[in-house]
């Protein structure tokens, strides 16, 4: 059984379509929209390929037409790109975003998975770092062996007691200093964090040709090209380093 895990695509179609993996099951952990400017093909890819999917905070915001106003950083970028996102998705797309559950429990080959975008305590918004103490407090009542999360845009695999936390990082907007698309593969009970180069300049061109304000264009281009604006995460695991998926006894 080969499982592809993707999260935080953020409407970056060149990044998503660069992933060329064979898989039996695809898990999507939320945030199809905002920041990038090609939401429609990304939504369609997930609709066609994701076996199981959960909603992210940006998916929720677009589905509910939530206006965001911010002066700095990613809140500012959310606000200015949200307007274009609303113009570039159909009513059917918005219904799909809103139809994804906030949490999903599944079983794959006798292993129990919990899928959330952020954390079991706050599925949409909590920033879940790669820290054992942080996770121990959030797993006390979680009846799953593998917990799959996104939201941080930092990939990591973390063992907490008899449970395994997998964050595949961000496909469309990595923020860990590596601009390559990030995702995870589980193959024969082995977890591997993977990175792949994609034609970043195609994404940049879409941004530069858009009606976004110039400050937003400059900030987005910097993030896409450098994987910047994120604090170093000392707990993240190096990509391409396999870990063993150890189901609880």
Q: Residues of the chain with pLDDT > 70: what percent? A: 92
Domains of the chain: 2-102+170-244 (3.60.21.10)
Query: For the residues of 104-120, what is the DSSP string, one character each?
Result: EEEEETTEEEEEESS-S
DSSP label at residue 236: P
Q: Region 6-20: what's the mean pLDDT?
A: 98
State the CB neighbour count (10 A cutoff) for residue 30.
29
Assigned token pair, 105? 């429990």
Per-residue model confidence (pLDDT) at position 158:
97
pLDDT digits (tens, 9 = 90+) for 188-227: 889 999 999 999 999 999 999 999 999 999 999 999 999 9
pTM equals 0.91
pLDDT digits (tens, 9 = 90+) for 48-65: 999 999 999 999 999 999
State the CB neighbour count (10 A cutoff) for residue 230.
17
Q: Which residue has tokens 């450098």?
A: 226
Q: Decide if 15 contacts 171 (C-beta within 8 A).
A: yes
Query: For the residues of 15-55, what is the DSSP string, one character each?
Result: HHHT-----SEEEE-S--SSSSS-HHHHHHHHHHH-SEE--
**Sign of torsion, CA 223 224 230 232?**
negative
Closest to 245 (Cα-Cα) out of 182, 183, 155, 162: 162
């Amino acid at each position: 059984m080969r499982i592809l895990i993707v999260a935080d695509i953020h409407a970056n179609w060149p990044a998503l379509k660069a992933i060329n993996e064979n898989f039996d099951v695809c898990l999507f952990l939320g945030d199809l929209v905002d920041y990038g400017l090609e939401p429609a093909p990304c939504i369609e890819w997930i609709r066609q390929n994701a076996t199981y999917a959960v909603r992210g905070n940006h998916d929720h915001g677009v589905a509910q037409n939530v206006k965001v106003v911010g002066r700095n950083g990613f809140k500012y970028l959310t606000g200015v790109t949200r307007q274009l996102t609303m113009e570039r998705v159909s009513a059917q797309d918005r219904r799909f975003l809103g139809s994804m559950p906030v949490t999903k429990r599944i079983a794959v080959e006798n292993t129990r998975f919990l899928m959330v975008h952020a954390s079991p305590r706050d599925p949409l918004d909590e920033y879940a770092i790669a820290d054992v103490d942080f996770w121990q407090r959030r797993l006390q009542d979680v009846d799953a062996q593998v917990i799959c999360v996104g939201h941080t845009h930092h990939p990591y695999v973390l063992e907490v007691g008899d449970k395994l936390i997998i964050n595949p990082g961000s496909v469309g907007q990595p923020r860990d200093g590596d601009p390559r698309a990030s995702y995870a593969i589980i193959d024969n009970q082995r977890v591997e964090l993977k990175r792949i180069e994609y034609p970043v300049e195609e994404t940049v061109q879409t941004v530069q040709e858009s009606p976004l304000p110039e400050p937003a264009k400059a900030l987005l281009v910097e993030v896409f090209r450098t994987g910047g604006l994120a604090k170093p995460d000392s707990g993240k695991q190096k990509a391409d380093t396999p870990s063993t998926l150890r189901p609880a006894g």
